[in-house]
Structure 1
Amino acid sequence: MLGLISTTPGPDSANILQAALPIGLGLASTAYLAMRMMRRNETLGEKSIPCAAIRTGDATHDAEYREDPDRFLSTCQKRYGPVFNCSILNQRLTVVSGPMVREVFMSQHFSFMDAIDDITGLRAFTTSVIKSNQHPDSRVVHEIVRDLVTPNLPLFTPLIVERVRSTLESRLGVCDHKLVENPQPIFADMIAGAMATVFMGSEIAQNRTVLDSFIYCTYDFGRAIGPEAREWTWGRLYSRIKYGMWNPLQKHVQVLVQAATPVVLERRRQAAEASEQGLAYKAPLDILQMLLDNFDQYGLVDLEDICGHLLLLVLASVHTSSDASTCLNYYLAAFPEHMEMLYQEQTEVLNQVAKEREQQRQKELQLGTVRSVRDFEGTELDPRNDRELSATVLKRLTRMDTFIREMMRFRCERLSLEHKARQDVVLSNGMVIPKGSKAIINMASVHQNAEVQGEDPTEFQPWRFIGKAKTATKVSSEFLPFGIGRHSCPGRFLAIQELKTVGALMVSQYSKIQFQDPSKKMQALLSAVGAPMPTGLVFTSRVTRVASD
């Protein structure tokens, strides 16, 4: 500014100088403060996050992402680095990639639930069905799974196997080239039945109304947090108003309460009767009974509250597990050359476990612990259970385990798992994600990364993890479907046990699973969670009926 003033003052030069000096001083002060701020940021290592350019003709990045997610994310990562902003999914999101992903999961200042609630108003949907533990950071459901479900999984496994097997026999059965245009309801029924048995007990699990609630409550849940809610700017406010007053989950809670009340009363009567006779009451093995026995530990107030928490367990497990079970069968159909290997592994494991059990029985007989083989009936060493899919057998199905892990790696949504910053978060590269912003994980940067996954990460290789101590339940920075750290999914052990059960029964009872329309193979394999499959499946049993009905 001063350089524009004449060096030979004229009549108005004093006024001009008088006016120019404040402006110059103001600019100088601004420049000085900006320099101080830049130096401060450099001292703190803070950097601004680059914004990905929007393609000409587009208003957001959505269309470009949907056309080819892998190419879009790879191009952005190469151009802008591991952290960049983009306008996608009706939001402005910070995409976090590669080695920076772990920092989002491990930081206590990021919240996955805050992000989902911010998008969909989820908390209004879920907290309205429970009377206690409504704090946003409550971990009671997490603790119930950790304390009661996972430690008892070996005991629950026979119940799960029996329920899945019986549902498979009744819904699909023995068949020869049988077309099922929409197999998802079959596998939803399997998982709902298994979960009803574990959560509510075998008596209540026979109630068709309860099973339907287990299935359909997840559909109501899906409508509340699905794509429509995410794409609508006012979705959260709408959800809070609607579900705070007319929550469809309420009717499902009442179904559970009505089914549970007579069962609980009968159990109490049996417990009182045993006590009068000086006998120990043998409590049923299910989470309902465990919560009744430990209600004060989790701050539960009554049976309705317990059923509300059980419904939250259902929402967290039935939909995702039934979806994954359905998808598993599409992968078995897509790679038929691996079906026989999985079947052979199962046969070998069953033979080995049966041999070990017989050796244990002979040892017991030699020691005189029992007098005859008949004494093993009804015990853990009952010969009739030698070839059952026990927890021991399922644990040894390493090929099935790695097949499932590879399926989850290969299929995983490329952008997923939003986390909202509760305060300004400075990443290790100096970039700052401001309070209130949402980070989303670039899953492709991990799951399709050759340095992390090995060669040909864009190919499905079912034995990729054989011999690498990388089970499907093991969370790490290399495998993200269940999260990482303190907030990793506590139900993953149950989910994988269910998937291995479904997979083991399918390969043992069916020699072929084929696509109705083979041209839809890749579309099916990369389907989003909850999306309808583009084609049906054709099933052929290993043993067909000897005689017609």
Structure 2
Amino acid sequence: MYIQTTINKILGLVPTSVKGMHIEAMKTIIPFGIGLIPVAYMTVKIFSNPGFSTDKSIPIVPLRPGDSTHDAEYSEDPDAFLKRCEEEYGPVFNIYLLNLALTVISGPQIREVLTNPAFSASDANEEITRITSYFNCGRKSNRNYGNQVVQYLVRDTAHYLPVFTPKIATLMEKGLEQEIGHCPAEKGAKIVEEPILLIRKTVVNAMANIFLGPEIARDPKVIDTLFSASIDLRRGFITGSSRVSKWRAFLDRTHLRLFQPLMKRAQILAEAATPVVLERRRLEALASESGVVWERPDDVLQSLLDSSDKYGFIDLEDVCAHALILAGAYAFAMTDAATNILYFLAAFPECVGKLYEELQQVLDTIQTEREQTRQGYRAEGKPIDEALDPAHDRDMSVEALKRMVYMDSFLREVFRYRIEHLRIVHRALEDITLSSGIVISKGSTVISNTRSIHQSPEHGEDTAEFRPWRYAEKRKTATKVGPDYLVFGMGRRACPARFMNIQGLKMVGALVVSKYSKIEIQDPSKTKAALCTRIGEPIDTGLKFTSRK
């Protein structure tokens, strides 16, 4: 209405001689011209983003003849490219990658970036991934706090690990049985053409039950919505790890503003959740009137509802948007990592036997300990509570997963071996002088060379090789971050979701080795490619599963 009024005023100032046959055309041209103003502004903005540090002492890696960026050379062999750059140009150098001018930081100086608040990860990540734009197209609150509230929610969710773990195990086991089934050797292995799809279905169903509760998760629309949300997040993060033009990034953000996919998914979820939430409130009020304690549902949705004031949620749609962000993020992260774990188990078949042996030893020990506790209770005349029910002696509990040191070592080594070598971007909010004397200028974007960390002598002499039991005796767990392991970041910026993710991945690994004696790569000639494929890129071969007797 305001724009139309403005157009009418402008037309009122046009001389009469100009009006007439051209007036209708001008009614079209003027709003079109006004619409071009923000487009022009954004175009200038996206193409004027700052580049790498202007410190003259930082060398710029020359481009190969015919190349306009370093993308092709890096993609061909990341190890060789980065090793050459480190040897020829030192620990800090400038390159053109992902359509950005980036300053690469290597070695111990990476710690200075990760621990210095003058480096902003959120500003740099938004330029590459558009994740904040995606969040803001759905959530109604917490837009002014970046993604801090999401991080707080993730930390709070991690507190539910002891409650969630057995449920997730049951749900995932059921999902694997439905998707793969029983495939004994005499009947031939079961071929799964797209393992990532199998894992995504299994994980999404488990996350729907854990985050939203079984009543809401029964609705097929809810499963489809969460499935789509996990793909949205995957697309956002994967876009950030591949070469995407600034114009494409601008179009992506425009698409989010116009179509608001997260908001639409939150509305679907809120519609399905409304009757369940109303019933919960009715039961809570009834319990209060009767003077009894209401047994709260142990799902994340109820926790968010109870904490609405704490987090400033506006309404149920806002709560559902945040629930989708959390559940979608877990599903996305778990799906990619779990799928890759299957390929590593297939590529290194000796690991399957070792991990199965460890699983049985751990469960045997826990079963013996629980029986000893029960005998002690009987001797003292104490009642045996439900928690010590023999039916749960061999459950996939938090304690059982914690004792699987070889499984933990296997996961840590998979991450160390496979993780993208150039990752963890930051934007310098001011001029920053590193300990080496090099100045990272304000506005420049730096990226960490994790190859220099994950293939350092601290990990052994054979860091270019995959050694599954590398950390089994070193007391370095898959969740333990530090200067030598940057898979989940470091310090106060370390990923708070790593505990739940690693717990879930241990569970997937344990369930798979307990059910299948053999996993094979469908096309053995593509084994190396399957292990080295960049995160998010499709693996061009399926897997074959053979059940245990």
Q: Which bin holds the TM-score, normalised by the shorter protein?
A: 0.7 to 0.9
Q: 1:201 aligns with which of 189, 200, 213?
A: 213
- Partners of 1:224 and 1:239 within 8 A in 2: no
Contact kept? 1:200, 1:286, Cα under 8 Å: yes
Q: Does 1:491 align with 2:500?
A: no
Residue 155 of structure 1 pairs with residue 163 of structure 2: yes
**Alignment map for 1:81-100 (pairs within 5 Å):** 81-100=90-109
1:227-264 superposed Cα distances (whole Å, 9 cap, x missing partner) = 38852122333233221121222221122112211111
Aligned equivalent of 2:51 = none
1:437 paired with 2:449, answer: no
Distance in 2 (alpha carbons) for counterparts of 1:255 and 1:396: 41
Q: How does 1:373-522 map to 2 (within 5 A)?
A: 375-376=384-385, 379-449=386-456, 451-522=457-528
Of 216, 229, 239, 1:227 maps to 239
Q: Which aligned pairs between 1:201-350 and structure 2 lie closer than 5 A?
A: 201-227=213-239, 230-350=243-363
- Alpha-carbon distance change, 107 to 235 in structure 1, aligned in 2, over 3 angstroms: farther
Secondary structure at the residue paired with 1:304? Answer: helix
What SS class does the counterpart of residue 95 from structure 1 fall into? Answer: strand
Structure number, greater radius of gyration: 1
Q: Which residue is 1:63 aligned to?
A: 72
Moved more, 504-513 or 529-538: 529-538
1:189: which partner in 2?
201
| Structure 1 residues not aligned, in runs of 5+ | 1-45, 544-549
In structure 2, what is the Cα distance between the partners aligned to 1:515 and 1:380? Answer: 41
**AA in 1 matched with 2:454:** H
Structure 1 residues 128 and 336: alpha-carbon distance in aligned structure 2, compared to 1, 3 A threshold: same
* CA–CA separation in structure 2 for the residues paired with 1:283 and 1:213: 25
Whole-angstrom distance in 2 between the partners of 1:213 and 1:145: 20
Question: Which residue does 1:27 correspond to in 2?
Answer: none
Identity across the alignment (%):
47
Q: Pairwise mapping of residues 124-139 of structure 1 onto structure 2 (< 5 A)? A: 124-139=133-148
**Which letter does structure 1 place at the counterpart of 2:99?**
N
Displacement of 1:298 in angstroms is: 1.2
**Aligned partners of 1:334 and 1:515 also within 8 Å:** yes
Whole-Å separation in 2 of the counterparts to 1:276 and 1:285: 22
Q: Which residue of 2 aligns with 1:362?
A: 375
The separation in 2 between residues aligned to 1:499 and 1:73, in whole angstroms, is: 30
Separation in 2 of the partners of 1:529 and 1:440?
17
2:23 is matched with none
Q: Which residue, out of 178, 181, 191, partners 2:190?
A: 178
- Counterpart of 1:407 in structure 2: which amino acid? V
Give the equivalent residue in structure 1 for 2:59: 50
**Residue 424 of structure 1: CA displacement?**
1.6
Offset of residue 225 of structure 1:
4.8
1:337 deviates by 1.0
Residue 66 of structure 1: how far off its partner (Å): 1.5
Aligned length: 490
8 Å contact kept, 1:420–1:438: yes
Contact 1:122 1:239 in 2 (8 A): no
Say if 2:345 and 2:519, in contact at 8 Å, map to a contact too: yes
Match of 1:43 in 2: none
Deviation at 1:446, TM superposition (A): 1.1
3-state secondary structure, aligned to 1:364:
helix
8 A Cα contact 1:198 1:287, kept in partner: yes
CA contact (8 A) 1:187 1:326 kept: yes
Distance (Å, rounded) in 1 between the aligned partners of 2:434 and 2:312 = 37
- Tell me the SS of whatever aligns to 2:539: coil
Q: How far did residue 350 of structure 1 move?
A: 0.3
> After the TM superposition, which of the residue ranges 534-543 and 267-276 deviates more from structure 2?
267-276
Measured in 2, the distance between the counterparts of 1:107 and 1:122 equals 22
Measured in 2, the distance between the counterparts of 1:120 and 1:289 equals 30
Deviations 1:170-229 (A, max 9, x none): 111111311111111111112112222221112222322222222222223344454388
Q: In 1, distance between residues paired with 2:431 and 2:421?
A: 25
Distance change (3 Å), C-alpha of 1:488 and 1:124: same
Provide the rounded CA distance (Å) in 1 between the counterparts of 2:531 and 2:341. 9
Report the more deviating stretch, 422-431 or 204-213.
204-213
Q: Decide whether aligned partners of structure 1 residues 174 and 81 sit closer, same or farther in structure 2, where only a CA change above 3 A counts.
A: same
Secondary structure at 2:311 match in 1: coil
Partner of 1:25: none
Amino acid at match of 1:425: I
RMSD: 1.6
Q: How far 1:541 sits from its partner (Å)?
A: 0.3
Could you tell me how far apart the structure 1 residues matched to 2:248 and 2:130 are? Answer: 7
- State the match for 1:535 in structure 2: 541
Deviations 1:105-145 (A, max 9, x none): 11101122211212344322211211111125441111112
5+ long unaligned stretches in structure 2: 1-54
Paired position in structure 2 for 1:28: none
Partners of 1:170 and 1:120 lie apart in 2 by 34
- Aligned partner of 1:33 in structure 2 is none
Q: Is the 8 A contact 2:408 2:472 kept in 1?
A: no
Q: Encode CA deviations 1:289-328: one digit per residue, 9 max, x unaligned.
A: 1111121111112111111111111332211211111111
| Alpha-carbon spacing, 1:126–1:138, altered in 2? closer, same or farther (3 Å) | closer
Distance 1:158 1:225, change over 3 A: closer
| Distance across 2 between alignment mates of 1:62 and 1:87 | 7
The TM-score normalised by the length of structure 1 is 0.86
Q: How much has 1:486 moved relative to structure 2?
A: 0.9
| Residue identity in the other structure for 1:77 | E
Is the CA contact 2:139–2:263 (under 8 Å) kept in the aligned structure 1?
no
Structure 2 CA distance for aligned equivalents of residues 380 and 498 of structure 1: 22
CA gap of 1:502–1:223, structure 2 versus 1, over 3 A, is closer
Amino acid in the other structure paired with 2:518: K
Please tell me whether the aligned partners of residues 161 and 501 of structure 1 are also in contact (alpha carbons under 8 angstroms): yes
